[in-house]
Structure 1
Amino acid sequence: MKAVRNLVHSVQSKHVSSPETLVERGLIPPDHFEAVTEACKTLPVRLTSHIAAQIDSQNLTSPLAKQFVPSPNETFVEDDEIADPIGDVTHSPVAGIVHRYPDRVLLTPVLSCPVYCRFCFRREFVGDGLLNNDDLESAIDYIRNHPEIWEVILSGGDPLILSQRRLGEIIDALDAIDHVAVIRVHTRVPVVDPHRVTRTLTDALKRKTPVFIVLHCNHADELVPEARDAIAQFVDNGFPVLSQSVLLKDVNDNSDTLATLMKTLVQCRVKPYYLHHGDKAQGTSHFRTALAVGRKLISQLRGQLSGLCQPTYMLDIPGGHGKIPAAEDYLKLENDGSWTVVDWKGNTHQYLD
């Protein structure tokens, strides 16, 4: 597709992008090849050279390996795991827009990422997709025509893999809409492809409308010096940086690991924002903890950490009903082991671990 070649920053040569390469580099054992190949039919494999260099082939249970290297476990799908676990499609009035809450929308100009996280909740949708010019204009028109939209969240995919020209065009279009007061950019680029973050990139984002960077980071091992330098590029150029993390079994599901992550983020001048409970995406059950585990961990962190370091533990209610703070009184454990969940509108829903 011509648009993809022209409008997405080219990092293909840096990628580990096939099960064959994983075997060659010792990142999966040969006897995992067939199952991993099957798993990659749903969610491709992609590792930047930065991430691949940090994964020790002698330690394939490390936090980085577990996040980015495909596993045969992904071929096992639980009965309650679904292709669109948070209901994006239900709330998509036009291509590239998710309008779940009245005052904000998600704009997804690209569905590619520099890496593919193996727990991705959009695993059925990510790939080499890109909004064409007509669809992007329709998405911008939707935002223009809905004055209740106060905030636009650029996500995907990872919007920071767009060419700086394309990214600048999108920011310009949003900056020209009077009722758009805040732009948020969700990205993993600073920790997975840190050399992508340059002054040219930050200049492409800087406009009169405030732009907040929300960094996806799950373990302190991701915050190597190159990543810290990339984060500093944003902070030093005036961008507030927040973080969102996912609670992942055998990656960060203990209080000491989470405390180290949150403290390290704050030392990098990043404010911890959300700690997400794992979504029920297909083939991700090996990553999910029980809700009770997450609630206990957050309770433990309250006593361990400064308020600066405290994230909010969030559950996305399956089916597209929105997020709720999972550590507060929005949940009631029933006698049958299920949870009654109250969403932001006061409606109740059932959730089963």
Structure 2
Amino acid sequence: MQRTMRSAADLAEAGLIAAAEVPALDQVAQRYSISVTPLLGRLIAEHGPPLARQYLPEPEELVTAPHEMDDPTADAPFTPLKGVVHRYPDRALLKPLLACPVYCRFCFRREAVGPDGGLLTEAELEAALDWFARTPQVREAILTGGDPLMLSPRRLERILTRLAAIPHLEVLRIHSRVPVADPGRIDAAMLQALTLDRPLYLCVHANHAAEFSTESAIALRALHGTGAVLLGQSVLLRGVNDSPAALEGLFRTMLRHRVKPYYLHQLDPAPGTARFHVPVEEGLALLRSLRGRVTGLAWPTYVQERPAGGGKFPLGMEVLLSGAGQPPRDG
């Protein structure tokens, strides 16, 4: 596994799937991209289902349940121009590209992302940056996509520098899989691009403790050294982290790597993802079981997207807090 695997044949050659599975998974790949980095290939071989389920294609992906939607977070109605999504008054997304180091089998943008990248042209990027400059109610710019850390350090630094120069933008945020999926990209040039005077928050997407390798530990330590605040975001997934032990392990591992658990997302109903669904009531019970077992530092906000793009809302905090005993005041 010396190169990124981008086809079912690559996965079979690496021993991650059986050769007999290739024809069926080739059909999946025609609709949903495959990408598994060498590091994740190694981790999948070591740890099995909790990682394989996230990254390896399955025939069920071509079955769309009645409740599933191509755009479950309703990005399109809130897109004033290409590359920008503005759902909330005080913050907006900038999507400079739609390529990722890996393609998660549960991704809510799985109809849009892929290796062709959806990279904004220079004119489109300038128009998007100008939109942020002339929209003073927006105080936070959130780089997402795709994965912004797939950009070249030069291009990323240019974007961040432009955004940091806009007076009304108080906070910049990046959402990325790179620190766990392809930590070798976090080199000196990337670290320089991420070193800013403006507050920068980096949300690291990971769903299982086994995703944190020796290589990712080095990358996260280096990212912490830039002054960026590291936050963790995860998705509650059937067969991946739907147990108290798995969630506790994930949150504790994040903290050991200087990553504060921030969001635990309820699965968005993207096409072909029904096998990952965990009912909200079960998610609440899982989190409730961790009350008093883990520090408050390890506690994320459990959130779900509102239908038709109304944004995220926290799920059942009154349920989580009820009947949980009285934790220590400083917990």
Q: Same fold (TM over 0.5)?
A: yes
**1:234-265 Cα deviation digits (max 9, x unpaired):** 11221110000000101000011100110111
User: CA shift at 1:323, angstroms?
Assistant: 0.6
Aligned match of 2:68 in 77, 81, 85?
Answer: 81
Q: 2:171 — aligned with what?
A: 182
User: Aligned to 1:313, what secondary structure does the other structure show?
Assistant: strand
User: CA shift at 1:86, angstroms?
Assistant: 0.6
CA distance in 1, matches of 2:268, 2:190: 31
Aligned match of 1:264 in 243, 249, 253?
Answer: 253
User: CA shift at 1:268, angstroms?
Assistant: 1.0
Cα RMSD, aligned residues only: 1.6
1:153 aligns with 2:152: no
Q: 1:136 — aligned with what?
A: 125
CA distance in 1, matches of 2:225, 2:185: 16
Q: 2:10 — aligned with what?
A: 21
TM-score (norm 2): 0.92
User: Aligned to 1:116, what secondary structure does the other structure show?
Assistant: coil
Note if contact 1:46-1:115 (Cα within 8 Å) is conserved in structure 2: yes
CA distance in 1, matches of 2:254, 2:318: 27
CA distance in 2, matches of 1:207, 1:231: 17
What stretches of structure 1 of length at least 5 have no aligned partner?
A: 1-12, 331-353
Note if contact 1:32-1:72 (Cα within 8 Å) is conserved in structure 2: no
Note if contact 2:8-2:25 (Cα within 8 Å) is conserved in structure 1: yes
- Aligned residue pairs, count: 317
Aligned match of 2:56 in 58, 69, 91?
Answer: 69
**1:71-116 Cα deviation digits (max 9, x unpaired):** 1121111011010001011111100000000000000001000111
User: Aligned to 2:210, what secondary structure does the other structure show?
Assistant: helix
State the identity %: 43
CA distance in 1, matches of 2:311, 2:28: 28
Q: 2:329 — aligned with what?
A: none
CA distance in 2, matches of 1:40, 1:293: 32
CA distance in 1, matches of 2:24, 2:308: 29
User: CA shift at 1:47, angstroms?
Assistant: 0.8
User: CA shift at 1:288, angstroms?
Assistant: 1.0
User: Aligned to 1:273, what secondary structure does the other structure show?
Assistant: strand
What stretches of structure 2 of length at least 5 have no aligned partner?
A: 320-331
Q: 2:88 — aligned with what?
A: 101
User: CA shift at 1:329, angstroms?
Assistant: 5.4
Q: Partner amino acid for 1:66?
A: R
1:121 aligns with 2:108: yes
**1:195-235 Cα deviation digits (max 9, x unpaired):** 11123211112222111110001000011111111110111
Note if contact 2:100-2:146 (Cα within 8 Å) is conserved in structure 1: yes
Note if contact 1:35-1:75 (Cα within 8 Å) is conserved in structure 2: no
Aligned match of 1:41 in 14, 20, 30?
Answer: 30
